[in-house]
């Protein structure tokens, strides 16, 4: 099981957990490596004609986790295929922006009257 809601577990639930691992957020270098790995899986070489090293750095600067990178890569690739195009940086940015917009819709309001 994976969760970010550990503080909401009750004592009975906690007693059933045998091993707990805490993962830190990825560094920018780690995110770049994850982006490269998932782009390679779909046949896109970083530094090639579709995704430059500079564009990889811009992708890695986005605060996303490995699962989000995997999902963004797959979604952007599907978007490109549906448009009969090769995957490009623009598809990835469009996908990441849509993910951000969706996430922001569900953030609780911080202002209370």
Render pLDDT for 3-26 as a digit per residue (tens, 0 to 9).
777 778 888 888 888 888 888 899
CB neighbours (10 Å) of residue 78? 13
- Distance (Å, rounded) from C-alpha 106 to C-alpha 52? 33
pLDDT over 70 percentage in the chain: 92
Work out the burial of residue 34: count CB atoms within 10 Å of its CB; fewer than 13 is exposed, 13-18 middle, 19 or more buried. buried
Q: Per-residue pLDDT for 109 more than 70?
A: no
The DSSP code for 48 is: S
| Cβ–Cβ under 8 Å, residues 64 and 31 | yes
Confidence bin at 78 (pLDDT 50/70/90): very high
**Two tokens at 74?**
């797959």
């Amino acid at each position: 099981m994976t969760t970010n809601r550990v503080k909401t577990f009750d004592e009975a639930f906690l007693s059933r957990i045998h091993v707990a691992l805490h993962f830190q957020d990825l560094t920018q270098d780690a995110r770049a490596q994850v982006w490269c790995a998932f782009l390679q899986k779909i046949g896109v070489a970083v530094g090639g004609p579709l995704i430059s090293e500079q564009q990889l750095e811009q992708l890695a600067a986005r605060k996303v986790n490995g699962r989000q990178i995997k999902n963004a890569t797959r979604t952007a690739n599907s978007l490109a295929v549906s448009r009969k195009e090769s995957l490009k940086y623009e598809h990835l940015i469009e996908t990441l922006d849509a993910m951000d917009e969706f996430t922001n819709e569900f953030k609780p309001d911080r202002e209370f009257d």
